[in-house]
Structure 1
Amino acid sequence: MQTAEVIAINDSLGIILSQEILDKLQVGAGDSVHILEIPDGMRLVPYDAEFERQFKLAERVMEKRSDVLRKLAE
């Protein structure tokens, strides 16, 4: 497990990631990442336009059909 320090950047906060983590994510300066909320915390994944499109579609379905999904989960 690695840790990262939260630092002040002007009026915001940022996290400095080690080169090892950046290499594993395959991202660098100027790249974007998705930040996903998962049951036990957050997950970072490299930005992928197709993933974002599919995720937004899934969110719309879950919002529109929440009653059906709730029933299926029983």
Structure 2
Amino acid sequence: MSDEQSFERLRAQVEEWVEGPGERWAERIEETGEVPEALWAELNELGFLRMAAPVAYGGHGLPFSRWMELMEVF
């Protein structure tokens, strides 16, 4: 799989999460005014907190410009 294909697959995963579970988390945060620890755990489990981290450290190794493209989705 090419780097571009890998990136597009990751982008699709991010978009799917944002449109589904992400919306529910956003509603909960708006209602309570707090960001639950469970949200951070979920983002970590999905690998979304380490997208720009080097592959050697469990990240996706994305360049900053690609990471910023995904941050626009969030």
Does TM, normalized by the shorter one, top 0.5? no
Provide TM-score, normalisation by structure 2.
Answer: 0.27
Query: Which of the pair is proportionally richer in strand?
Result: 1
Q: Which has the higher contact order (CA 8 A, sep 6+)?
A: 2
Q: Which protein has the larger Cα radius of gyration, Structure 1 or Structure 2? A: 1
Query: Which of the pair is proportionally richer in helix?
Result: 2
